[in-house]
Structure 1
Amino acid sequence: MSKVHAVKAYFVRPGESTWDVPGLWRNSDLARRIESSLRRCPPLTHAHASAWTGRVRVKYPGRFSAEEAREQIEAALRASADGAPSQDAGSNARSSPAGSLSTVLIGAGIAATAYATKAAARIFPRTAVLAGLGTFVGTVAAAARNKGDDTAETTRKERDHALRELLALSRPHHRTLQASMALTVAARAMQVSYVALVGTLTDSMIARDRVMLFGRPVRSRPPNLLKLGAASVALIAGCSVAEYYSKLLWMRAAHRVIHDLRLTLYEHVQSLEMDQLADASRGNHLTLLSEDINRIELLFSSTWAVWNEIAYASCSTVGFFLINPGFVGLASVPMPGLLWFAQTLERRIRPKFAELRRQVGVLSGVLAGNVDGISTIRAFAAERSARKWVEEASARLRDEQDEAVRLLTSYNPAVLAAANGLRMVTAVAAGFHASRGQISPGTYVTLVILSTSLALPMLSVARDFPHILSTLASVNRVFEAFDAPREDRDAGRPLAADEVRGAIRFESVRFAYRADVPILQDVSVTIPAGRTAAFVGTTGAGKSTIAKLLLRFYEPGAGRILLDEQDVSALRRGDVRRCIAYVGQEIFLFNGTIGENIVFGRRGAGMDAVVRAARAAGAHEFISALPEGYDTHVGEQGQKLSGGQRQRIGIARALLDRKPIVILDEVTAALDAVTEAELLRSLTATLEGSSVVMIAHRLSAVRHADAIHVMESGRIVESGSHEELLASRGRYATYWALQMRKADAGGAPPEGLDT
Structure 2
Amino acid sequence: MSDTAHPSSFQSLVRLLRYAKGYRRRIIAATVCSIINKLFDIAPEILIGIAIDVVVNQEQSFVARLGLETAESQIGALAVLTFFIWAGESLFEYLYMILWRNLAQRLQSDFRQDAYEHIQRQDMGFFEARSSGQLIAVLNDDVNQLERFLDGGANDLIQVFVTVIAVGAVFFVLSPLIALLAFTPIPIIIWGAFFFQKRATPLYADVRDKVGVLATRLSNNIGGMATIKSFTAEEKEAARVRADSDAYADANRRAIRVSSAFIPVIRMAILTGFLFTFVVGGLQTLNGTLNVGAYGVLVFLTQRLLWPLTGLAQTIDLYERAMASTRRILALIHTPVDVPDSGDEPLPQPVRGEVRFDRVSFEYGSSGAGVHDVSIDVPAGATLALVGATGSGKSTLMKLLLRFYQPGQGRILLDGIPIEQLSLKSLRSTIGLVSQDVFLFEGSIRDNIAYGRPDASDDEVIEAARTAEAWEFIQRLPQGLDTAVGERGVRLSGGQRQRLSLARALLKDPAILVLDEATSAVDNETEAAIQRSLAHISHERTVIMIAHRLSTIVHADRIVVLEHGRIVESGTHDELLDRQTAYWSQWQVQTGGVVDTR
Q: Indicate the residue corresponding to 2:187 in structure 1.
A: 336
CA distance in 2, matches of 1:563, 1:266: 29
Once the two structures are TM-superposed, the CA of residue 162 in structure 1 deviates from its matched residue by: 3.0
Moved over 6 A (4+): none
What do residues 697-738 of structure 1 show as CA deviations (whole Å, max 9, x unaligned)?
112221221112222222222322222223333333332333
Q: Indicate the residue corresponding to 2:550 in structure 1.
A: 699
CA distance in 2, matches of 1:724, 1:488: 38
**Is 1:266 paired with 2:116?**
yes
With 376-385 and 198-207 compared, the bigger mean Cα shift is at 198-207
**Is 1:212 paired with 2:85?**
no
1:502/1:166 Cα in 2 relative to 1: closer, same or farther (>3 Å)?
same
Residue of structure 2 aligned with 1:361, choices 212, 216, 236 = 212
**Is 1:426 paired with 2:274?**
no
- Maintained 8 Å contact 1:619/1:652: yes
Residue of structure 2 aligned with 1:222, choices 70, 73, 88 = 70
1:193/1:675 Cα in 2 relative to 1: closer, same or farther (>3 Å)?
closer
- Maintained 8 Å contact 2:436/2:519: no
Once the two structures are TM-superposed, the CA of residue 425 in structure 1 deviates from its matched residue by: 2.1
1:592 is matched by which residue type in structure 2?
G
SS of 2:349's equivalent? helix
1:659 is matched by which residue type in structure 2?
P
Q: Indicate the residue corresponding to 2:480 in structure 1.
A: 629
- Maintained 8 Å contact 2:274/2:302: yes
Residue of structure 2 aligned with 1:231, choices 57, 81, 86 = 81
**Is 1:347 paired with 2:198?**
yes
What do residues 447-499 of structure 1 show as CA deviations (whole Å, max 9, x unaligned)?
21101110123112122111111221111111122332215553134132634
Matches within 5 A, 1:484-633: 484-487=335-338, 489-496=340-347, 498-514=349-365, 517-633=368-484
CA distance in 1, matches of 2:295, 2:454: 73
Q: Indicate the residue corresponding to 2:509 in structure 1.
A: 658
**Is 1:257 paired with 2:104?**
no
With 346-355 and 198-207 compared, the bigger mean Cα shift is at 198-207
CA distance in 2, matches of 1:172, 1:506: 45
1:517/1:158 Cα in 2 relative to 1: closer, same or farther (>3 Å)?
same
CA distance in 1, matches of 2:456, 2:575: 42
What do residues 320-343 of structure 1 show as CA deviations (whole Å, max 9, x unaligned)?
233233332223221122212222
What do residues 578-611 of structure 1 show as CA deviations (whole Å, max 9, x unaligned)?
2111112211111111111111112211111111
CA distance in 2, matches of 1:629, 1:648: 15
Residue of structure 2 aligned with 1:277, choices 127, 147, 167 = 127
SS of 2:375's equivalent? strand
SS of 1:498's equivalent? coil
Q: Indicate the residue corresponding to 1:409 in structure 2.
A: 260
CA distance in 2, matches of 1:207, 1:217: 12
CA distance in 2, matches of 1:228, 1:557: 80
Q: Indicate the residue corresponding to 2:96 in structure 1.
A: 246
What do residues 287-343 of structure 1 show as CA deviations (whole Å, max 9, x unaligned)?
111111111112323121111222233222222233233332223221122212222
1:458 is matched by which residue type in structure 2?
L
What do residues 257-308 of structure 1 show as CA deviations (whole Å, max 9, x unaligned)?
2211211111111111222221111111111111111111123231211112
Once the two structures are TM-superposed, the CA of residue 612 in structure 1 deviates from its matched residue by: 0.9
CA distance in 2, matches of 1:488, 1:247: 43
CA distance in 1, matches of 2:548, 2:480: 32
- Maintained 8 Å contact 2:383/2:544: yes
CA distance in 2, matches of 1:155, 1:691: 49
SS of 2:554's equivalent? coil
SS of 1:710's equivalent? strand
- Maintained 8 Å contact 1:489/1:572: no
Residue of structure 2 aligned with 1:377, choices 228, 233, 240 = 228
**Is 1:165 paired with 2:165?**
no
Once the two structures are TM-superposed, the CA of residue 212 in structure 1 deviates from its matched residue by: 3.4
Once the two structures are TM-superposed, the CA of residue 158 in structure 1 deviates from its matched residue by: 5.1
1:173/1:507 Cα in 2 relative to 1: closer, same or farther (>3 Å)?
closer
What do residues 417-454 of structure 1 show as CA deviations (whole Å, max 9, x unaligned)?
11122222212222222233433433322221101110
CA distance in 2, matches of 1:204, 1:690: 95
CA distance in 2, matches of 1:566, 1:573: 13
CA distance in 2, matches of 1:229, 1:201: 10
When normalised by structure 1's length, the TM-score is 0.75
2:380 is matched by which residue type in structure 1?
A
Q: Indicate the residue corresponding to 1:25 in structure 2.
A: none
Q: Indicate the residue corresponding to 1:97 in structure 2.
A: none
Q: Indicate the residue corresponding to 1:299 in structure 2.
A: 149
SS of 1:410's equivalent? helix
1:488/1:276 Cα in 2 relative to 1: closer, same or farther (>3 Å)?
closer
SS of 1:354's equivalent? helix
- For the aligned residues, what is the CA RMSD? 2.3
1:156/1:454 Cα in 2 relative to 1: closer, same or farther (>3 Å)?
farther
1:678 is matched by which residue type in structure 2?
A
Once the two structures are TM-superposed, the CA of residue 691 in structure 1 deviates from its matched residue by: 0.6
1:157/1:378 Cα in 2 relative to 1: closer, same or farther (>3 Å)?
closer
Once the two structures are TM-superposed, the CA of residue 694 in structure 1 deviates from its matched residue by: 0.5
2:121 is matched by which residue type in structure 1?
S
**Is 1:741 paired with 2:589?**
no
1:674 is matched by which residue type in structure 2?
E
Matched residue count: 591
Once the two structures are TM-superposed, the CA of residue 661 in structure 1 deviates from its matched residue by: 0.7
Once the two structures are TM-superposed, the CA of residue 256 in structure 1 deviates from its matched residue by: 1.2
Residue of structure 1 aligned with 2:305, choices 454, 459, 470 = 454
